[in-house]
Amino acid sequence: MKRILLIIGIVSLGLSLVSCTKKTITTTEIETTTRKTTLENGNYVTDGFEYRPLNGNIAAIHSYKGTESNIIIPDKLDEFTVEYIDDLAFTNLSFVTSITLPKGLLEIGHNSFSYNENLTAINIPDDCSLNLIGANSFRNNPKLTSFTITSKVEIIRDRVFYGSGITSFEVKNNSRFSFINDLLIAWHRQDYGDAIFASPIKEDFVCPTNVKQLGNALFENNKVIKSINLNDVEFIGYDCFVNSSLETITGGDKLYGIGGEILDNTPWLLSKKDEDFVFLSTVLIRVNCNNKETIIIPDEITEISPNLLNSNTVKTIVLPETIEDINSEAFEKCPNLETIIIKATVALFYSGSTLSSKVKIYVPYTSLNTYKNNIFYTDVKNQIYPKEITVTFNDIDNNKVGEAKTYYYYYVGENYVEPAKIDGKTFKYYVDQNGNQIDKFTLIDSYEDIILTPVYE
């Protein structure tokens, strides 16, 4: 009996040892093969890279928690292929000097590599799958002096290289981008390019043929630029030259639009301080005649800039028929503004509203409903009115014989006063004080009262 119990005890001990040995080996294998830590937010950390697992064994790097100065982002983290880099993933890493991207990377998020004061190199494999570079992703890296755009890049968002020290781009087998005249150009089509970055050490720029747009903040805070020839440029993005050292602008005859303030705090604008109206092509940049109660914007102007004028005096602003676009901030520095008269018969683009509720907007009578029902005027629809005018009828000796009420861009109609008959003369037409011929159904193209005098033959 004792022998049987001894044998059973030995066998049980052996089984226990085997069981313990098997458990230890399994734990060691897990630690060796995964090397990852799970965070409270559900992300993983491997070799200093915090990442988010996505569908299909894909990873998005969320942040870097390591200490390497020369970061090499691996093609895979554990079983996940690195295809995305999240917003802000590698920002404000003062110890980093170079970063190598994985070849399977598809997209870089906003501000992903921004504000790295000692970053000098971004290494991108020639066969990298990178397709999209998010806004501000390489912003404010002053020691980064060159960059490679690989063949599969299709989209470079706004201000990607803003504040960087880049002076050269290598574009590899990619017709969507080119670096010409120290400007990085994104080509939307062969004859339509958008300048999205400018060398920070260049003084004089000439926009290449078929560059139609200058990107947002392209030269903002650039204290080196002196001149630019706009050539074919049609549109300038917001803040393009703000706080820069720009002195001279040539070309630009094709310019028709701007994204907002583009030339504030520049020597160029300061040099125009004695001009009543400052404009580029048909875009009105600034009004300096601030001591008048009524400002009549010149004909041919199609667009007006924000912060157009700064005046406590102006009460009335008249916009021409050619106007197409009003920036909502154009008149916000006119606290005593009472009236805006719009002569355009087509409801022009109006980007929002910062107008006081006391401001009345007068539009052509025939366009009243067009303006009121336009989505851009939703906030001010109750401030829109037709402009009533008085028509005075005189005789040939300029004595008043009658009066009628009508509206700007409407006709007199049944209120028309027939002229007196004069023996031996035939009535031809009435003329107003500006020499315009007016009859019963002529649209009155005047926002002011008019006086009509008969003409006989």
Residue type at position 42: G
Q: Provide mean pLDDT across the span 79-97.
A: 98
pLDDT band at 375 (very low <50, low <70, confident <90, very high): confident
Q: Is the pLDDT of residue 8 over 90?
A: no
Are 294 and 313 in contact, with CB atoms under 8 Å apart?
A: no
pLDDT tens per residue, range 228-238: 999 999 999 99
Q: What pLDDT score does 355 carry?
A: 78
Q: Is the pLDDT of residue 293 over 60?
A: yes
Q: Provide mean pLDDT across the span 324-334.
A: 84
Sheet (strand 98-100) strand order:
70-72, 98-100, 121-123
Q: Is the pLDDT of residue 350 over 80?
A: no
Q: What pLDDT score does 305 carry?
A: 87
pLDDT tens per residue, range 438-454: 999 999 999 999 999 99
Q: What pLDDT score does 351 carry?
A: 65
The label of the residue with tokens 């990852």 reads 36
* Among candidate residues 147, 136, 137, 252, the one with its CA nearest the CA of residue 199: 147
Is pLDDT larger for residue 173 or for residue 21?
A: 173
Q: Is the pLDDT of residue 5 over 60?
A: no
Q: What pLDDT score does 354 carry?
A: 64
Contacts of 6 (CB under 8 A, 6+ apart): none
Query: Which of 23-32, 74-83, 446-455 is the least confident region?
Result: 23-32
Is pLDDT larger for residue 352 or for residue 124?
A: 124
Q: Is the pLDDT of residue 329 over 90?
A: no
Cα 80–83–85 angle (5° rounding)?
110
Domain ranges of the chain: 37-174, 181-271, 288-385, 388-456
Q: What pLDDT score does 77 carry?
A: 96
Q: Provide mean pLDDT across the span 395-406.
A: 95
pLDDT tens per residue, range 197-212: 999 999 999 999 999 9
Q: Is the pLDDT of residue 24 over 60?
A: no
For domain 37-174, the CATH class is alpha beta
For strands 257-258 and 277-280, give the pairing.
unpaired
Q: Provide mean pLDDT across the span 276-294.
A: 94
CATH tag, 388-456: 2.60.40
Q: What pLDDT score does 17 carry?
A: 38
Q: Is the pLDDT of residue 36 over 90?
A: no
Q: What pLDDT score does 288 carry?
A: 94
Are 364 and 343 in contact, with CB atoms under 8 Å apart?
A: yes
Cα 85–92–215 angle (5° rounding)?
70
Contacts of 440 (CB under 8 A, 6+ apart): 411, 412, 413, 416
Q: Provide mean pLDDT across the span 306-322.
A: 93
Q: Is the pLDDT of residue 6 over 60?
A: no
For strands 80-85 and 107-108, give the pairing.
parallel
Helix residue spans in 305-432 (DSSP H): 368-372
Q: What pLDDT score does 9 carry?
A: 46
Task: Say if pTM beats, i.e. exceeds, 0.95.
Answer: no
pLDDT band at 332 (very low <50, low <70, confident <90, very high): confident
* Among candidate residues 305, 230, 223, the one with its CA nearest the CA of residue 266: 223
Calculate the average pLDDT of the chain.
90
pLDDT tens per residue, range 157-179: 999 999 999 999 999 999 999 99
Are 343 and 321 in contact, with CB atoms under 8 Å apart?
A: yes
Domain 288-385 has CATH 3.40.605.10: no
Percent of the chain with pLDDT over 70: 91
Are 418 and 408 in contact, with CB atoms under 8 Å apart?
A: no
Percent of the chain with pLDDT over 90: 79
Q: Provide mean pLDDT across the span 125-151.
A: 98
